[in-house]
A and B are shown apart, each in its own frame.
Chain A
Amino acid sequence: MQVVSTKQKIIRMIVYVLLVLCAAVMLLPFLWMLSASLKLDKDVFTFPVQWIPKHPRWANYHDIWTEIPLLTFVKNTVKLTVIVTLLQLFTSSFAAYAFAKLQFKGRNTLFLGYIATIAMPWQVYMVPQFVMMSKMGLNNTHLAIILLQAFSAFGVFMMKQFYTSIPTELCEAARVDGMTEYGIYFRIMLPLSKPALSTLTIFTFVNTWNDFLGPYIYLTREELKTIQIGLRMFITQYSQEYGLIMAASVVTLIPVLIVFLSLQQYFVQGIATSGLKG
């Protein structure tokens, strides 16, 4: 039986207050976004700030689908994001296992080289890459975006760090039992890395979902474009339709939230260590 002391109660209260304050700071801009999504463009940035719009303009949520082909953009973005995420998950964790648990020639140098490339800003090699992809005939294809995003050093780095914290004894024991490395990967490492895989999923999903520059350069045909390009289409040379931008931003936030919420359950304490006892 646990007796909750007054001290613990006070600490808990303080923690709650801090969290609520924190949540407020995080959420305030979103409340503004929601409110702005129901306004006419000319009213979005008026001062003093009108938190609750006088005449909520629900039509904004209809207009975003008609003014730009948002449904197509959403379909394209979903397709790209799912494919890239799955590819990243598999190839990154596969490679990370080798870097974390296997001894082989050139391991450290190769790993360092991999990480080093993360340091290069994409803007620098964007044009040579585009020229190369164009010559391969990949301009204006979804395949180009997939090939660019699915093989990243970042995923390998992250998975390797998590694998490092899984005790090597597990793998040793399996090897003694005669399991191949592939077996170890599939039967032991993968199941244990659910938190890491969920994390990588979330990150890759969000990154690809929100990616602007890549699709902007490679996808110039309307039917291939993605959500982020669509949002910028509301900013034309002579006007900025922020009411619609906010509405579209709210709508396209939902799938990401769904993914995040459904992966939450994997952040449960103790999964990774459940194999150690006994």
Chain B
Amino acid sequence: MTAKKTEFKKNLVAYSFIAPNFIGFAIFTLVPMVFAFILAFLDWDGSPYNPMHFVGFKNFANLASDDQFLAAFKNTIVYTVETVPLTLIMALILAVLLNQKIKGRDFFRTVCFFPYVASMVAVAAVWNMLFNPGMGPVNEILRGFGVQNPPGWSADKDWAMTTIVQFSVWKYMGYYMILYLAGLQGINPELYEAANLDGCNGWQRFWNVTIPQLSATTFFVLVMLVIQCFKVYDVVYMITQAGPGTATLVMVYDIYNKAFVYSSFGSASAEAIVLFALVLIVTLIQFRGQRKTEA
């Protein structure tokens, strides 16, 4: 067979692997996404009976002076910067701890996974109750320790974001712990033996074997975490409803408002594209970083 024919056949085989997933994805997800992209350049109120007008970049220009958008933009970045490192570190620590042979390991693993699994409606209600600024247990305990003015949590514009971050870390660290656990299974134990022979202690083993070996997993966790944080909506909706004022208004929340409350699908899509561009840039940077480590 000629080289070209082998090449062609190779490509075909590869595409056949991708096809089942990609075709379904393309039809049912990609097409609407592309349409939503196009909407950013139109003015449409979401009605099948009303026309769509082409408005070029007007939606984007309007964003620059849109108070809601500016608040949402800032809040989303703050939220991401605070949530990502905390969640990642907690998840890693938990995974390493729960990878040891200790009694009750399965129990602890299940417990850590609980917050992720439970229904958001119930868990958010519980969280709000526990952190109730007036009479919730957390503040009661703080007062017991002598704290005069415990934080107002979700009712205080200076603490609302922290409350959301705390809740997110609590809810998601179990999820990422699982990812790290799966990654840890892939580390060749011979590497640890070699390190032991070289006289490494536990901490050095962690730094020199575990972390580098987890690089592919860490990359995945980081990318997913960042994307998840940029896309946050449910948590905000359930805990603070973007309040007080606009203290916890995030971009997807504003996008939702623009589309479904103001019936302005064009500006909603424009904001979505800004969000998408942001995530893309951050993800590309991460990809570059990963490429360097893999080389």
Contacts and interface: CB of A to CB of B under 8 A. Distances in A.
Interface of A: 12, 15-16, 18-19, 22-23, 25-30, 32-33, 36, 45, 47-49, 90-92, 94-95, 97-99, 102-105, 107, 110, 112, 114-121, 123-125, 127-129, 131-133, 147-148, 150-158, 161-162, 164-166, 181, 185, 195-196, 198-199, 202-203, 206, 210, 212, 227-228, 231-232, 235, 242, 245-246, 249, 252-253, 256-257, 260-261, 264, 267-273, 276
Given A47-B132, A119-B275, A252-B119, 19 more contacts: A30-B114, A90-B20, A98-B18, A151-B21, A151-B29, A158-B220, A161-B217, A162-B216, A181-B13, A181-B17, A195-B186, A198-B182, A199-B179, A199-B182, A227-B119, A245-B122, A260-B117, A267-B109, A272-B186
A48 B268 CA distance: 43
Interface in B82-120: 94, 97-100, 102, 106-120
Contacts of A30: 114, 118
A158 B216 CA distance: 10
A123 B233 contact: yes
16 contacts: A19-B98, A33-B118, A98-B15, A117-B33, A125-B32, A132-B35, A148-B28, A150-B24, A151-B22, A151-B23, A162-B186, A185-B17, A231-B121, A245-B122, A256-B117, A268-B185
B283 A116 contact: yes
Contact of B39 (A12, A117, A128): A128
Interface residues of B, number: 97
A156 B19 CA distance: 12
A97 B13 CA distance: 11
B31 interface: yes
Interface string B234-266: 000000000000000000100110010000010
B55 interface: no
B144 interface: no
Interface secondary structure of A, over-half rule: helix
Contacts of A23: 107-108, 111-112
Interface of B: 10-11, 13-15, 17-18, 20-25, 28-33, 35-36, 39, 46, 48, 94, 97-100, 102, 106-123, 125-127, 129-130, 132, 134-137, 140, 170, 174-175, 178-179, 181-186, 188-190, 216-217, 219-220, 223-224, 227, 230-231, 233, 252, 255-256, 259, 265, 268-269, 272, 275-276, 279-280, 283, 287
A125 to B, nearest CB: 4
A25 B185 contact: no
A102 B14 contact: yes
B57 to A, nearest CB: 18
B110 to A, nearest CB: 6
**Residue of A162, A198, A268 ringed by the most chain B CB atoms within 10 A:** A162
A95 B30 CA distance: 17
B32 A153 contact: no
A124 B121 contact: no
A246 B94 CA distance: 28
A18 B122 contact: no
B185 A260 contact: no
Contacts of B259: 123-124, 127
